[in-house]
Amino acid sequence: MSKPIFQLVDELPTSGLTVSLLNSLDFIAPGQWKNTVGFVNTIKTVTGESDEALIQQIGERAITLYNDKSQGYQTAMWLYQTVDSTDKALAAAALANKIGESISFLGFLNKVTPKADKAQTIDLTLKLVAELVAFCKINGIPGDSIGDFVAALGEYSSEALIRMAALVCFDGLIPLGPDFIRKATDVIGGLTPQELEQNSTFSSMRDEIPGNNSAGKLDFIGQSFDSVKGWMGGLVTTHNLTPDKVLGNIRKFVDITDDKLDYLAAFIDVSTNYYEHTGTQSLARRLIERAMAEI
């Protein structure tokens, strides 16, 4: 890893499109996510401690745990970063002349185009698999522990819950529509290992996905999505989520001048890093909790 964990947490932004879009999902998980930034501030928030010497001890232990390559923390961080890194060069071009958080779609329609349903589905399912594998790495269990992940998903809270809500809304509902679960299931069911191999995100993270070859990894991706369908469907039903409802809440935080949902999905994809942002926060929380317990 190029940066230590304390630097990654210290450099998290306090505002911007990613933060605004995550805040727009508060209606799904009211009060669950606070944009906690800064390593020392995160230690204080997670532990409730104010003793500077103890905070220092906890911080040093958390850094040591993160740096220990026999643990899975660095790999988990890499996964969160990797699934968010696709198309970032395109984002720079599309946003070069943007000021503040007001979005004019005319400025980037010729630079950002919607993904086909197949490409969007692969990205959706790879983000889910990244979450599953990162969960296993962080908790020191085998990377193919789908059952453990699904059981834990029901207990997700704070930044982990808002990340999964964002996955459902920004990578499911907005680009694929209200029937995104069935659409994604159909696409994955008809996907070939060769088509999967053409996806740049898969190429980057394939070594971390369980399976002996591309066919085995595709099977694992399908099993993972199938196992989480119930939770996703429950989230949609409980909160009566629709693309228009999500868009309406986004508009409370971001000035969107158009409602072309497929283009909005493309814009979110290239101009935000909600997975890396909340993933960094989740990882820091877990490290601090473990460091506190060990001290």
CB burial class (10 A; 0-12, 13-18, 19+) of residue 97? Answer: exposed
Report pTM.
0.90
Q: Tens of pLDDT along the chain (295 residues)?
A: 578 999 999 999 999 889 999 999 999 999 999 999 999 999 999 999 999 999 999 999 999 999 998 899 999 999 999 988 765 554 554 454 444 445 555 555 555 666 788 888 998 999 999 999 999 999 888 867 899 999 999 899 999 999 999 999 999 999 999 999 999 999 999 999 999 999 888 999 999 999 999 999 999 999 999 999 999 999 999 999 999 999 999 999 888 766 678 878 888 888 889 999 999 999 999 999 999 999 8
